[in-house]
Amino acid sequence: MKKTEINQSNKLIAKFMYPNLQKELKSGEIKEDIAKKLMAYNKDYSLMRYFLSWDWLMPVVEKIETKGFNVNVSAYPSIEKSIFANLHIKPYHKTQYTNGNRRDRTYKMCVEFIEWYNKNKS
């Protein structure tokens, strides 16, 4: 992935992860992920490591689960409303990822899911 693409993806993830960031900062109620939130606030997306670290990526997967989707980082499709790192999400459906390791595929699917989610949330 190109640096600009990574930065755009990190920006998308940061906005998904911290939708109330401005409100938290104004109220002084930042309780967790302070460093990540400050990066998002300062628009330091190139410093974010969602694409490099499971420690950064797994909270994204967990947040997707809070939206009612069952996350399964595997190669076996089946359950409705599931996200698969290299298969699909129902009702969301995207192309299969076969390049890269499991983390790379999970990162790409998270980014595509967030794009889909942002367009389709009601």
Number of other residues whose CB lies within 10 A of the CB of residue 96: 13
SS3 at position 7: helix
- Helix, strand and coil in the chain, % to nearest 5: 55, 5, 40
Predicted pLDDT of residue 104? 84
User: Quick one: pLDDT at residue 80?
Assistant: 47
Written as tens digits, the pLDDT of the chain (122 aa) is 788 999 999 999 999 998 888 887 788 777 777 888 888 888 888 899 999 999 999 999 899 888 888 776 655 444 444 555 443 455 555 555 556 677 888 898 899 889 989 998 76
The three-state secondary structure class of 89 is strand
Tokens standing for residue 84: 């698969």
Total-model pTM: 0.77
pLDDT of residue 11: 94
pLDDT of residue 91: 52
pLDDT of 114 reads: 92
